[in-house]
Amino acid sequence: MRRHVMIRGGAALCAAVLVLAACNSSGGESTSPTTSAPAVTDPETGTTDAGTGGDGGAAAAPDDNSVVVPALANAMGPGFEGVYVGPDVRIETVSDDPVVRTLLAPFPCERLRMQLATSNWDVLDRLESSPQLDAAGVRDTLVLRRNDQLVWAIFTGAADCEATVWLAAAVDLQLVLPAADESGRGWAITSRCVDRDGVRTVTVEMLTVSGAGASVDVTIDASGSAAIDGAVAGRSPIGWLSALSRGYTDPMNPPPGDLYQLEGGSAEVTTSDRRSGSFVASGAAADMSGTSGTARFGAPFACASVEDVSLPIG
């Protein structure tokens, strides 16, 4: 089974980011060029939207084939109104609770990402793939927002692309960082649930409307006892995912804001079946300068599927 997860080994990844960035924590902020996305007409409203990006605009399409004509496009289903992909993209339902879809495209992920980015939703944030991130198991991620709805897409593949897409409504989150309390409205995406020898690890991606976010791994054993297995968190005016991407790929020019690595802690989970419920976790976290403080995370979770990676017996 493929691994649909934004961060693999989150604590280790963040450690690499923090250590490298600490070599030049005074690096200046760079500004990415802004381009406009192709205009797309919404067939439901008849309105035209030029598209926006998390940093001021979506990147221009690499070729004309990346621009979706809505009349020829596949609609992704209820809740995804205004999100379009081309007619040659196959859409499969993973789950309706939570709402998760798989997109299978016979072309590279850059083109599929641009199709989604030119939908009539705002591009809220993006984690851009790179050789360094690929080596760490981190995948290209695109986040779209429309009112209180969020689309979170993770891309894998080379010549052919597969994207796992979650649809989520805003909820109340606990996200307390050492430098600020970012708790409030936001979104929680359960990007992976894995069983190994009776212990389930649930990975939850958190994102707030203020630009703060976290990726938290919580383990739950058969009795319901929980522990926090690792977490990375941060806040940035350029977006949490964009900051994490830049911090890893360009450590000599660290992003504005703060990135934290959890150094240890505890967790409590409320659940009846380990497939859905909520968690609260807290512990000590340190930033790139070594300054530490208390971090606290709280969010709902819901597994669309569970991957069993238990070792064979005998």
Does 3 map to a domain? no
Average pLDDT over residues 216-243: 92
Give the residue numbers spanning the domain of 233: 10-24+38-308
Among 15-29, 70-84, 156-170, 213-227, the minimum mean pLDDT is found in 15-29
- Stronger pLDDT, 295 or 54, i.e. the higher one: 295
Going by C-alpha positions, the residue among 305, 238, 209, 286 that lies closest to residue 17 is 286
Write down the pLDDT at residue 201: 96
Residue 270, token pair as written in the block: 């409320």
**pLDDT > 80? residue 306:** yes
Does 5 map to a domain? no
Does 98 map to a domain? yes
Going by C-alpha positions, the residue among 287, 125, 283 that lies closest to residue 206 is 125
- pLDDT above 90 coverage of the chain, percent: 52
Average pLDDT over residues 71-78: 74
Query: Rounded to an integer, what distance in angstroms lies between the CA atom of residue 208 and that of residue 228?
Result: 20
Query: Rounded to an integer, what distance in angstroms lies between the CA atom of residue 271 and that of residue 154?
Result: 26
Does 184 map to a domain? yes
Q: Letter for the amino acid at 129?
A: S
Beta pairing partners, 286: 261, 292
Query: Rounded to an integer, what distance in angstroms lies between the CA atom of residue 203 and that of residue 229?
Result: 10
Q: Letter for the amino acid at 262?
A: L
Beta pairing partners, 186: 171, 208
Write down the pLDDT at residue 244: 85
Does 2 map to a domain? no
For residue range 236-269, list pLDDT tens digits in order: 999 999 988 887 777 788 888 888 989 889 999 9
Average pLDDT, the chain: 79
Overall size of the chain counted in residues:
314
Does 30 map to a domain? no
Residue 31, token pair as written in the block: 């500004």
Q: With beta carbons less than 8 A apart as the criterion, state whether 67 and 80 touch.
A: no
Does 49 map to a domain? yes
What is the reported pTM?
0.77
Write down the pLDDT at residue 39: 39
**pLDDT > 80? residue 138:** no
Residue 186, token pair as written in the block: 């936001």
Write down the pLDDT at residue 48: 40
For residue range 159-197, list pLDDT tens digits in order: 899 999 999 999 999 999 998 999 999 999 999 999 999
Non-local (6+) Cβ contacts of 95 within 8 A are 304, 305
Query: Rounded to an integer, what distance in angstroms lies between the CA atom of residue 30 and that of residue 27?
Result: 9
Measured between alpha carbons, how far is residue 89 from residues 1, 108, 110, 118 in Å? 21, 12, 14, 15
Measured between alpha carbons, how far is residue 8 from residues 13, 49, 124, 161, 222 in Å? 8, 35, 22, 20, 23
Write down the pLDDT at residue 69: 61
Does 62 map to a domain? yes
**pLDDT > 80? residue 23:** no
**pLDDT > 50? residue 1:** no
Q: Which ranges constitute the DSSP H helices of the chain?
A: 10-22, 109-117, 131-135, 240-249
Number of domains observed in the structure of the chain: 1
Using DSSP bridges, classify how beta strands 292-302 and 307-308 pair: parallel, antiparallel or unpaired. Answer: unpaired
